[in-house]
Every structure is written in C-alpha cells, then in structure tokens.
Amino acid sequence: MYVLTHLVALAMLPAGIALSYGNPVGLAKLKTRFAGMLFRVIGKRVEVSGIQYLEKESGYVIVCNYPSFYVLFALMALFPNASFVANRILRRVPLLGWMLGRSGTIFVDPKRPRATRRAMDAALASRGTRSVVIMPESRRTPDGEIHAFRRGFVYLLRHSNLDLLPVSANGFYTLKPANRLYLDPDAQPTPIIHRAVPNTEAKALGDIALISQTESTIRSAYRP
C-alpha cells in the first residue's frame, strides 16, 4: 500500500505540472482529488472534526503537529488553496520539487534563519491573505509525542494579517510513523480543527506565550 500511494502520486504529477501554469482553481481541485484518492487506495476515510470553525473568507496560519507524512495529504485536502512551508530538500526532488515551487510552497532551511525569513516575507508579499500550512516540529515525530515547536509560525503571524488555526493530527502516527514501512489497517486518521485565534490576539502575546498556548491547544486533543 505504501508503494502504491507513491505510484498514485507519480501518476498525477503531470496533471499538477500542467495546472500549475495559470490555473489555481484547477490545481486546488486536483490536490483535493489527489489526496482523496490516496486515502481511498489505503482504505481509509479521514474523519475531520471542527469544520464549523472555518470561515470561508478568512486566511490562516494553519499550525499542525507532524506525526506522519500522510497528514500532509489530509491537510492538502482540507486546505487546497493553502501554501505549505517545506524543507528546501524537497526542491531537489525531480519534477515534484518544481511543481511544489509552482504551487506556492515556501522552501525553508532550518539552519539558515535569515534566508528562511526572507523566503517567508517574499511569499506573504505575493500571496495576500491566502492560508499557509506549517508544522513547527520541522520533522516527523520519532515516538508519537509532540516535540518542541520552532518559531516559524510566530514570524508568519507577526508579519501578516492571517489568523492562527491550530490542528491536532490524530491517528496518523498509528497509521504510518516515520520508522515503520507498513500501514496499520486499524488506524483511524481524525484531524481536529480548533477554534481560530484572531491575528490581533495572537500578536498581543509574547513569542514564548504564543508558542506555549498553540502547542498546548494542539496537545490537549492529540492522540497518536
């Protein structure tokens, strides 16, 4: 199943490349279809809680824990118009890295904070109020626990008018952690969307308080 999901991704890649040229609506629809197909392939239905907190016209900094690579697909389906913050290593992947760049992915290097800030500034300036997905743990959890959050999402909030939207990615670690090759057939991926924090309220908090509050919110509803 794990190999099959990668084959599905490769099969849909040409369509993504074509739609990345001036067809954002079509690209968003393809992302939703692509993510839905992947979960159908592995026999899973993603059950989302908290949809009622989403405002159609609002833009968000979507902050989520990172238990599994499959959570990226779930977030892609939930927020097809959002850009993702991703490690610059992905840019080197043939075709995929190029398409990610075309679709607005913000490539960052955790070891080069100044370059990361410049990349975020450029993306925010060109995107207006579009949402941004970021996983502040920066790497998949090795043990199912939520690990310390980096400050990248704080920077995005302070340099935009986007609201903060915490998401707890439940069941994804059980489905497929980083250190296991097979998928667990009994896992139930269930993202939980929390109530958004208005940008003005987020900016009123200090960095440490904002990180702590966000992490606490996500942790409060999290289960591996």
Q: What residue segments make up the domains of the chain, in order of their start? A: 46-220
What pLDDT does residue 29 have?
73
The residue ranges of the chain whose pLDDT is under 50 are 1
Sign of the four-CA dihedral 49, 77, 91, 89: positive
The whole-number pLDDT of residue 102 equals 65
Which pLDDT value is given to residue 40?
84
- Rounded distance, CA 124 to CA 109, Å? 17
The pLDDT score that the predictor gives to residue 223 is 96
CA distances 124 to 37, 155, 166, 204, Å, are 30, 11, 19, 20
Helix axes 70-78, 24-41, angle to 10 degrees: 140
The SS3 call for residue 148 is coil
Fold (topology level) of 46-220: Glycerol-3-phosphate (1)-acyltransferase (3.40.1130)
Q: Are strands 132-134 and 83-87 parallel, antiparallel or unpaired?
A: parallel
This prediction's pTM: 0.86
Q: What is the pLDDT of residue 99?
A: 62
- HSE (side-chain half, CA atoms, 13 Å) at 171: 16
| Amino acid 128: pLDDT | 55
